[in-house]
Amino acid sequence: MSPNADDLDDGLAYEFAESSDGSVNSDAEEIENFDADQGATDDASAPASKRQKDDHDDEDNHLSKRQKKLAKSKAHLKKMEKMEFEKQEKKELPRKSADAIVDYLSKLIREKNPDMSVLELEELYFRKSDFISTESFTQERTLENFPTFVRMFNKAPRAIVLSTSNIRVADVFRSLGGSSSAVKLFSKNKLKDDVARVEQILGSKSKEAKPSQKKGKANPKDVAAQHVQYLLSTPGRMAKIIEETTLLFSGKEKLDILVDASYLDPKTNSIFTSDDGMLLCRLLKTFLREKSSVKILLF
């Protein structure tokens, strides 16, 4: 019987196993050492900007939630402070001097019309002489104090009061005692009715109107119209009215335009910073150009 290969005492199997195990282990160690060296080489050769970015990301990751929240709160606080400053600037504008009002409106006009040329902007700018300063009115600019304000500063036979919305027009109307001294000219009415009302108040009949009273007897509506002193409107409606009639420009009587400028809407916009702000400026410039003895007062 031939001997089993395992029974041979020639040392081959033992020596082979020892050699085999040693070789495998050695190769694994070499591969690990190579990978480690390669990784170190890659780190060393990485661009400095990438390493800095990684470091920066690590710093951001190490910022606590409280620190991040604090940074955001500071930015929010600055934003809120700016908004509050702008809000107060709008509310306090009517209390400023005529020079300060002109400067404010000139800056606003430039911001709202970035594509206009210098000459085009000049046509929209106001002059100090266009305004009557109301700095001396120390009371709060509220509707309750508006009647006192107009008694102090309105010296013209009639005045136009411009407010930012229909609702505000109605509020001003009530503060002045209603229809006994004021009339509402706004988009809740038909435009032709507002035009006819203006013509009636200013002593002129519409071309299409027919006399409702016998000759020699006064029309009660005409009598009531003679007592109307304040024409209350929005910039948009008044712009449409002067397109239909020029009676507001006729005559040599003084005309005051009171701008309800201290009131801020729910979005904290004044009548000048609202969507109709530039329309208002153009409207005011039209009155200054087309009629003599016009003055602007800010409430």
Q: What is the pLDDT of residues 240-268, one digit of tens each?
A: 999 999 999 998 999 999 999 999 999 99
Global pTM reads 0.71
d(CA 124, CA 102): 11
Q: Name residues whose C-beta falls within 8 Å of residue 102's C-beta, 6 or more positions apart in sequence.
A: 125, 126, 127, 128, 130, 131
The vertex-230 CA angle with 229 and 233, nearest 5°, equals 155
Residue spans per domain, the chain: 12-62, 93-208+217-298
Fold of the domain spanning 93-208+217-298: Rossmann fold (3.40.50)
- Mean pLDDT score across all residues of the chain: 82
Confidence band for 205, pLDDT divided at 50, 70 and 90: very low
Which one is predicted more confidently, 39 or 194?
Answer: 194
